[in-house]
Structure 1
Amino acid sequence: MHGFLNLNKPFGFTSHDGVAKVRRLLKLKRVGHAGTLDPAATGVLPIALGRATRLLQFLRQDKAYRATIRFGIRTTTDDLEGETLLAQPAPELDLETVKALLPHFQGTLQQVPPDYSAIQIQGKRLYELARKGETIAAQPRSVEVFSIEVLGWRSGEFPEVDLAIACGSGTYIRAIARDLGNALKTGGTLAALIRTASSGFELANSLTLEELEIQVQEGRFQPILPQLALEHLPVIALSDSPARRWCQGQKVEVSESDWAAPSAEGAGKTTVSTANLVLRVHHRNSQFLGIGQVTRGPTGLVLSPKVVFADAEGLII
């Protein structure tokens, strides 16, 4: 079994827990995930099955969340799972004041990861050091937030705002909650988080572990085809002989007119003036062969294998 699973991770599960449960349900050894989700977060966790684990690095990097931020609270973990450092009511805070600051949290930002995070410093993860009482400040990292939209507001002693956030890989929503609270001088922490999209997978099409178990028991589960998860990449189709040689690990000559634009951007040919382009490789009969990279050789452009997904002997010609 090779392909992807769009898992709706439940509350309280680590991403590793989700992988372990899928591994047991499907009786597979090779299972991996893209984009770690905190235990207190729910939603989309892309899971790779079998040989598709080698394709995780080529998935889209964009993500989307529904987040609830509670003001007047600061915690050690920047969410409600941690120890409370500050609980100071902020009944005077209003939505317009919050809205006025949101543009400062969009675009390319320098963001300091939470103390309790999986970032490694000196070979140790920050959450491991924090649990031992060791405080080591993580260096700011460049992250990208594409958009923030207000979904709801609840006033009171500890007001809450619901936000829809679209961002790039590596963005900590807990850090946005912390920094927004600091900017408002009230303190803020993440009260709830749902990932609504990740790497091209959408929450509306996800499966819970219970739904997956039922499908497996009834023999109905089918993984998502790798080529569908990689539709954002340009595609090149090889004829019989080049396809076989490429699947055997050989480079094949190509031209700039051989590959098509990603299907998400519309059909048709596209040309590029630079090499080092990563492509989704197919046989001309549409069989998915793997991932290749175009480089410039002595006599022109060549397509090298990066991940060969199809066995040359099993090639359907």
Structure 2
Amino acid sequence: MNGVLVVDKPADFTSFDVVSVVRRLAGREKTGHTGTLDPMATGVLPVLLGKATRAASLLEDTSKEYRAEFALGYATDTQDSTGEVLARSGTRTTEAALLASLSLFRGNILQEPPMYSAVRKDGKRLYELARQGVTVEREKRPVTIERLECVRFDETAQTGILEVRCSKGTYIRTLCADIGQALGTFGVMTALRRTSACGFSLADAVPLEAVRALAETGQLEARVLPMDQLFLERPALRVSAAQAVRFRNGGCLGLERTALARQNPPDGLRVRVYSPEQVFLGLGIVDRGQDTLKILKLFV
């Protein structure tokens, strides 16, 4: 069983918990996921099975989409509603002020990783230090907020919902806390649902309980998506039978002997490579210096 099983992660499960369940049900030792979700979060978690685990390092730049609920007026040590309350503020904000503040966070911004995160500092995870009551300085990291909209805000309750499209490595709870700070108060994330990741949406996702049921009836493999679904944003290239043999054996292909020759592809372009029978072989990368298509990653 090689491919991608898109799971709708339930709350109170870690991403590792979900991978462990799928590993046992699918009977595949090699399993992994494409991006951690906090235990309180739900939603799209693509689980890689078998040869698809080779794709993990190639998915670092993929954007993700979230629907986040937040509350203003208090702060916690985890920046979400599961943590210990550290401070409260009587300052209240209006919907107009909130909407105006969002412009500060669109585009390329810097985020300070929260103490309760898996980022390493001097060889230790930040959450390990946080659990010991230790707070350390953290270097801010660049992230990109491609879309940030408030779809609902209750001025009386000081609660609302954000829709976010962002780069990998963005902390949505930190975004909520930073928005609160920009408004002269505090902010925490109260719920989080990932609606899209690696090109997959909730429509592709299977609830974890349904995964168990499918495994019991022998139907799980039917819900596993082909590996090339991870790279549909890349152009496809069908090669000849001889080229397919050469490619899968580790050899470069001359650009002039492929359909790419007519397209004048840019250096560094990544393409999906298929055999004449439409078998996905792997990813190639254009090297204009040598006029070749080199192997980026094989999946056969």
Question: What TM-score range do you get, normalising by the shorter chain?
Answer: over 0.9
**Whole-angstrom distance in 2 between the partners of 1:161 and 1:259:** 49
Aligned position for 1:6: 6
Q: Select which of 281, 284, 308 maps to 2:298.
A: 308
CA deviation vs aligned residue, 1:164-195 (integer Å, no higher than 9, x gap): 11111111111111111111111111111100
Question: Whole-Å Cα distance in 2 between the matches of residues 259 and 178 of structure 1?
Answer: 48
TM-superposed CA distance for 1:245, in Å, is 1.4
From 244, 264, 269, the counterpart of 1:271: 264
1:27 is aligned to 2:27:
yes
The match for 1:100 is 100
Task: Indicate how the Cα distance of structure 1 residues 87 and 307 shifts in structure 2: closer, same or farther if over 3 A, else same.
Answer: same
Could you tell me which residue of structure 2 aligns to residue 139 of structure 1? 139
Alpha-carbon contact 1:256-1:271 (below 8 Å) kept: no
* Counterpart AA for 2:169: G
Greater mean alpha carbon deviation, residues 32-41 or residues 81-90: 81-90
**Bigger mean CA deviation after superposition, 42-51 or 144-153:** 144-153
Secondary structure, aligned partner of 1:255 = helix
Residue number among 260, 271, 283 corresponding to 2:275 in the alignment = 283
Separation in 1, partners of 2:279, 2:108:
39
Q: Secondary structure at the match of 1:137?
A: coil
> Residue 204 of structure 2 aligns with which residue?
205
Instruction: State the alpha-carbon separation in 2 of the partners of residues 292 and 108 from structure 1.
Output: 29
Matched-pair contact (CA < 8 Å) for 1:237–1:259: no
Contact kept in structure 1, 2:151 and 2:160, CA below 8 Å: yes
- CA distance 1:270–1:67, change in 2 (3 Å): farther
- The amino acid of 2:187's aligned partner reads G
Q: Deviations over 1:274-305 (max 9, x none)?
A: 2x3322111122110112222246xx422222
- Match in the other structure for 1:219: 218
The aligned amino acid for 1:227 is D
The Cα offsets for residues 213-241 of structure 1, whole Å up to 9 and x where unpaired, read as 11222222221011222111122221011
| Equivalent position amino acid for 1:306 in 2 | L
List aligned pairs for 1:138-217, cutoff 5 A.
138-156=138-156, 158-217=157-216
Contact 1:257 1:271 in 2 (8 A): no
SS in 1 for 2:133: coil
In structure 1, what is the Cα distance between the partners aligned to 2:218 and 2:16?
25
- Between the aligned partners of 2:128 and 2:240, the Cα distance in structure 1 is 52
Cα deviation per residue 1:139-160 (whole Å; 9 max; x = unaligned)? Answer: 111110011122112233x510
Distance, in Å, in 2 between the alignment partners of 1:35 and 1:172 is 12
The count of residues paired between Structure 1 and Structure 2 equals 297
TM-align CA RMSD? 1.8
AA partner of residue 171 (structure 1): T
| Letter matched to residue 117 of structure 1 | S
- Identity over the aligned pairs, expressed in percent? 37
User: Could you state the TM-score of these two structures normalised by the residue count of structure 2?
Assistant: 0.93
1:240 aligns with 2:241: yes
The corresponding residue for 1:128 is: 128
| Cα distance in 2, alignment partners of residues 228 and 116 from structure 1 | 33
Gap regions ≥5 residues in structure 2: none
In structure 2, the residue matched to 1:64 is 65
In structure 2, the CA distance between the partners of 1:270 and 1:202, relative to structure 1 (3 Å rule), is farther
CA deviations on 1:194-217 (whole Å, 9 max, x unpaired) are 000011010122101111111222
Cα separation, partners in 2 of 1:259 and 1:82, compared to 1, 3 Å: farther
User: Secondary structure in 2 aligned to 1:175?
Assistant: helix
The answer on whether the counterparts of 2:152 and 2:160 sit within 8 Å (CA) in structure 1 is yes
Partner residue of 2:47?
47
Cα contact 1:58–1:230 (8 A) shared by 2: no
